[in-house]
Amino acid sequence: MLTNGDVERWLREDVGHHDVTNQVPGDTEGRLVAKEDGVVAGLDAARAVFEYLDCEVRLPSEDGDRIESGDMVLRVEGPAREILRGERVAVNLAGHASGIATKARRAVEAARTIADGVRIAATRKTTPGLRGIEKRAVAAAGGDTHRLDLSHMVMVKDNHVAEMGLEGAISHFRERASFATQLDVEVESPEDAPRAAEAGADIVLLDNMTPTETERAVELVTAADGEALTEASGGITVADVPDYAVTGVDVISMGALTHSAPTLDLSFRTG
C-alpha cells in the first residue's frame, strides 16, 4: 500500500529545499502521454503524487491496459507550481512500472502460446523502496508476484544445502516454518529434484538448468511425487520462455522482469 510517507520521500528527494525552477503562478492542466506502445502500470503511484500535492487527477487508462504511442494515460489539474513539482516523480514511477509491465506481458504471452497453465513469476530482485510498485506492475501484466518478502515462503537455497545437506535442510526448515508456509527448494541437477520432492518440498526450484534438463527434472518429480510444483529459474529471458514452457514446468521465475526491464517512454505535457 502506498503511504504519504512514500510520496513525501520521493518528492523530498526531487524537490529539495529551495525549488526555484517550478515557481510558476496560476493553475494549469497536465497530461501523461505514451511515446511508445506498451502496457501501462504505476498509475496508482503517479496519482498518489499529484493528489498529495492537492491536484485533481483523472485516469483514462488502468494498470494493465495496452497503450499505443500518443495515448493519454493520466490527466491532472491544479496549481501550476504543484503539477510541475510532481511531474518528474510521477513520470519516473509510471515509466519504470510500465516498462516492467510491458516486459512481463511479453513473457506471459510467450508462455501462453505453449501452455495455458504455466505461470510467469517475478523474484525479489527488485529496487529497494520500490518493490510494491514493481510487483504490482508484474501482476497487472498477468504475471505472478512470487513471494513479496522473506516471510511469505521459505526458500532452501544452495548455501543451506551446503551446510546441512538437502534432506537435512528441508527437515530443519519444515520444523521451524508455519503449517501455512510453503518450502521452495533449490536443486541444481535433475537427479536431485525428486529427492527434494520426496523430502517434503512444496515447490522444487530447478536452478540454472537447460530446457532439456528441466524437462527431465519435471518427469522425475512427477514420477516421485504428484504433489510438488516445479519452478524453472536462473537467467531465463523472454526469448527463452517458450523453450521452458514446453517442458511441463509449473512456474517460470524471471529476475529480469524487474531488474532489467527498460523504462517505457512517457511524456508529461502541460497547458
| Residues labelled as active-site residues | 125
CA distance 160 to 178: 19
Contact 233, 209 (CB under 8 A): no
**Which residues fall within 8 angstroms of residue 60, CB to CB, at 6 or more apart?**
72, 73, 74, 75
Contact 41, 105 (CB under 8 A): no
CA distance 155 to 222: 21
Contact 190, 248 (CB under 8 A): no
Q: What single letter denotes the amino acid at residue 247?
A: T
**Which residues fall within 8 angstroms of residue 198, CB to CB, at 6 or more apart?**
224, 225
For the chain, the maximum distance between any two Cα atoms, rounded to a whole number of angstroms, is 71
